Structure 1
Amino acid sequence: MKSPGEFMEILAAYDLTRSYRDAAKICGVSHNTVRSYVKARQEGAQAPVARQRGRMTDPFLPQMISWVEQSRGKIRGDVVHEKLLALGFTGCERTTRTTLAELKAKYRARNVRVHRPWTPEPGLWLQFDYGDGPVVDGVKTVLFVAWLAFSRFRIVIALRDKTMPSVFAALDRTFRLIGGIPTYILTDNEKTVTIEHAAGIPVRNAQIVAFSRHYSTSMQTCIPADPASKGGVENAVKIAKADLVPKETNLLPEYRSFAELEAACEAFMEEVNSRVHRATLEIPKDMLRVLERPRLHPVPETPVTASFGHTRQVPPNTPMITFEQSRYSVPHTLMGEMVWVRGTETEVVIVHVGDAGPVEVARHKDTLPGTPAIIDAHFPPAPSGALERVIRPTNKAEEEFLALGAALWLKEAADAGTQKIRHKMERAVTLAKVLGTDEVDKGLGSAAAHHRFTHEDLCSIVNTAGGTGHTTRATRTVTDQGQWLSQGTGSWANFGTTPTTAPTTDPVVDGDFEGALDER
């Protein structure tokens, strides 16, 4: 059906050309359309209206509407088409899907959920949920995310699991981070919170009831399969996963340890709570400090420890505890402190309760008695042993010698049992002052590599490496053998033979003896 403007354009084009086909080409319509519009004008009638043809699915509309209502708009097109074929429908599946899409759209329009803006009171609501964390050391982690409804203050804590003790520790730490406890806490229907539903009423877990009583708060759960009832924390979980879990979209590196993940969570909380929130146009941590924290309940000094297991006292001289006849390590900073230990089917979990609340400090695989479970990071750096001696100067002379870069020479010379090693060190320092540190450093390195530890060896290596440039005395080479002062070797030619002539009384010098031999 054409609009009034298009109707007038068609008539104007016909008046201009007086041809149905030419007017149709100008307006981009069929010449039959132009003819019908001109005829209607001549007869003084209204513009013709397009006829609505019926669909092949019209006889089956009541059944299709019933199926959409029963499935709450979830039924698929192929399922509806199969049912229609059984009722005698002869159309194609595309016709079925087109009609079904219109029926679903009408159903959703009638049953859409209307969201009313929520204006929470300060200090009243806290929501928490979980998100899939990154894989650390081959183990999948969990992100515990809490969200204060009024101030939009967010808390992200990395957990190793979602067991009751871990949840209690995370909630206690959350309360201490925000500096108080809200009146209501809203979460999902996890088994740690809700055991089952009876006639639509959630049956609470007895441990969570004791937890709520200890902290003077009320634990509430949202309606099953209705995440919109706690949309604030759902959005916080989405943002935390996008910024903390390594993916191809954020190019984050893998976490090498659980401590790195905890540090990343701390940095994320500091960032998101220190910038202006787009909904309130306020900084969340400022709203928490000024408006919401004064309305929160105080946090008990003693946290809930009933589910943390058994207590163990860490010895003051070794960070090891005993649990079920086996020994497990804890961070050395907890020596002399009390910790809580509990066992699962395959692991042993150790928790320490400090000023920041309960914190999991170690998690070990079950081990056998006599085989202690040790994590190297729990111990401070070990002192150097017999095979790892550290070279440290103890006086000024040693500092000057080691400043030459002569640590290798000192170690090799000491291992070789070099005598008067300190005297050689002093002479090397003196030589460096004359020839330069670099030359002596290279010489000491060569001497250590070839196990030549005398001072003469050092001087020879330095002079050989540097040529004659380091000699301090001028030299002159004598090429005339007649002027050489060294004795000849000609007198040794007849050594061991019987002389044929009588010896003379005149002394014969080496040169004459050599001449006589030459004459013979």
Structure 2
Amino acid sequence: MEKWLMFMEIYQMKKQGFKIRRIARKLGVSRTTVYKYLEKSPEEMAEWMASTRKRKRKLDHYELLIHTWLSENPDLSGAQVHDWLKERFADLSVGESTVRSYVKELREKYNIPKVMTPRSYEAIPELPMGKQIQVDFGQSKQKTTQGRTQKVYVICFVLSHSRYKYAEWLDRPFTTKDVIRAHEHAFEYFGGVPEEMVYDQDALIVVSENGGDIILTEEFQTYYRERKFQLYVCRKADPESKGKVENSVKFIKQNFAKNRVFRNIEQWNEQCWEWLERTGNGKVNNTIKKKPAEVFSVEKKHLKPITKKIIHSPINSSIARVVRKDNTILYESNRYSVPLGTYDKHNSVYVNATDDQKLRIHESMGGPIIAEHQLCEGKGELIQDRQHKRDRTKGIPAYMKTVSEAFQNQDKAMSYLMEIQTQYPRYMRDQLKIISDSVKDVPSNIRAEALNECVKSRFYSASEFKDVLTHLIRQQQSTKSTEMAIQQMSAGQSNYDNMKPEVRDLDPYLEVLEGAVK
């Protein structure tokens, strides 16, 4: 019957001109479901409903077993039933949502209500004026003017006695620095500081809680000591202990943020503060039956005055990040570039997100800025500064000029190098290095001769130039060796004037000749 009612509501809303997206949002279903229902006429829907009532379902075979489990364990959940079925019947393929629906029907069919163990509460007397502020965080997804979805984050402060509220939004997750700044804004809004602040165990404020020993984050610990208020941290999984702010966050999300179009964070905060004056603090509270703004006018006098403003500069909000091999750092699931060579010089750098959505990267804590990027809202993106890219063309002309200066005819050498660049544009730096290394300690005349020979023979390659140069060097060395030998012989000619040739005995030759005659 519920499906038939759903069909009728969808059918009527579509007839009234509602769009599919709006129908799905109002009824809390997906657009696919809306399309599925709209494809059927009332007659087809009735036939389909009748077929589903007659159709045998997969879990009907296990009805008796599930009924037994529910009878013996009234507090059994649908998720547990699904797990028990998988444990006993490995071949059973059924979704958890199907099991939950089936369990719900069996409970109605056999009148087996689920036994709940509710938590016992007791009324707590209202706290004195100026005693306590409760703090909590929330988030919401809003439609933008471009039709996209923007996730926004809120921190809410509530005076426990008057229920007077203050809220501040960001279009990115809060940092500890943001939390501290929001505290200062809230105290300015309230006109004073309470005796006690109540927090959840949020990682921006609390590092750990062990049997009452609270360890705060370093930044918040510094701020807490300067402001000198009492601090109360709720136990884990105990949101009821700060129920006033929990309700306030829900009120802000449901009454202010719901269905509101997001344009920019500045306008969003201004609209929220106007809403606080008009509705959040101007509407009668259901518990105290008074307007928070009226009660606050009296409670404000009981807050401790703000004697000085906290200077945020001593609080360091920089976060260390490891420099990756590709000279990038990872921040909130995105990669941001740093100058080439940073990886070789520094193992880590420090990043700081500014109020104007900039990410500044420092080479050391409080050191000079080596890179600055616009924060990216997406995930898995590479944000790269053009100056951080290797300009592979930059330096080649200067390199060519340097190499050409090693030759007597620099213009001819430059023309030759330009021809090589035409042949090997991708490897020009390597070509230049080979030529530069090969001409070291080589006489200028041999360099010139090698260049002339390569141009004449059209050898436009560094390896061919090197081969020609090597051949000429060997040829010169061979010529020098010959000249040295001739010079030595010429210099020692007078020593051979008195020398006489050796005279051998003729007997061995006569013996050979006699044998030939015989």
TM (norm. structure 2) is 0.42
Say which one has the larger Rg.
1
Task: Name the one with the larger helix percent.
Answer: 2
